[in-house]
Amino acid sequence: MKIVRTPDCRFENLKDYPFEPHYAEVDAGDGSRLLMHYVDEGKGEVLLCLHGQPSWSYLYRKMIPVLVEAGYRVIAPDLVGFGKSDKPVDRADYTYVNHVSWMKGFMEVLDLRDVTLICQDWGSLIGLRVVAENQARFARVVLANGGMPDGAGIPEEMSEKLNELLHNTPALPAEEMFGKLSGPMEDRPQFMYWVRHCDDHPDFHPAEVMKGSLNSCDEEEYRAWSAPFPSQAFMAGARQFPSLVPIISDNPAIPANKAAWQVFAGFEKPFITAFSDSDPVTKGGERRWIETVPGAKGQMHTILKGAGHFIQDDAAAELSAIVIKFVQSNPN
């Protein structure tokens, strides 16, 4: 597996990111090894914070000090392809099953147990699968603006038409794409515009996506979102992730996700949702979890007002308080 590794100098003196780097080697799946970077701060019960696309562990920079101060050990890895972690250059290496395997490997290398998962975006698509397949390592789950699509409600006979729609969806510039995401439903799911922008627009850049998604992003924060990606050669993972989301019934990840949903239908460990009211991607997605997961019953599920997709940045204090209260209210 051919990889690139972002030079360390790109990460020097980033705003609000003073954390010491840590690294773990995981099996790449082809006989080689991948280096995964992670933040590891504090002592106590483990809070595993998983970011999504196209962010990195910088997304949790505002929450980490608050959670550490509350008495927890906070581990925030960079997914393969993001942050300071290794980045395969071939988009074909970024498969859903590979990402689940890499995260399992990461947890095994660190031997993480009694973990509270905090997950959002692709951090949830990966993290929830890892929970379902490794229940013994987890104590609780905090799901924030995320999910685990399994094609529910989409007939198999629609696959061909939906794939054709996706193929014919234009790869719009970022500003137009964001307009489609937040606009009314037209002749195709809005999410297809997001997939095609990341997949094929020549000016796609993770930092532009983050800037366009956040309530605020100053110049120093923009530099931090840009840091992992000095050129297009480093962006294969960021480009590929949306194309992997199993929203069409012929997606190869759907059987494993359906199996994971069956696990969660009997999952009695504490499970809480904390979604925002201004995320066009996941809005309303909390309901299925609340209705399905036994461990979600009686929890203080929350909708945070005014926050967008990246709730850890837009509403860091509020989400941190929810996590702390949730863990304290559901002791091991």
Catalytic residues: 121, 279, 309
Q: Which stretch of DSSP H or E encloses residue 122?
A: helix 122-133
Amino acid type, 298: G
Token reading at 106: 């990461």
Nearest to 128 by CA among 237, 236, 256, 25: 256
Bridge partners for 86 per DSSP: none
CB atoms under 10 Å from CB of 86, counted, come to: 25
DSSP state of 20: P
Measure the N-to-C terminal CA separation of the chain; round to a whole number of Å: 41
Collapse the DSSP code of 23 into the 3-class scheme (helix H, G, I; strand E, B; otherwise coil) and give the result: strand
| Cα gap 245→265, rounded to integer Å | 21
d(CA 26, CA 305): 38
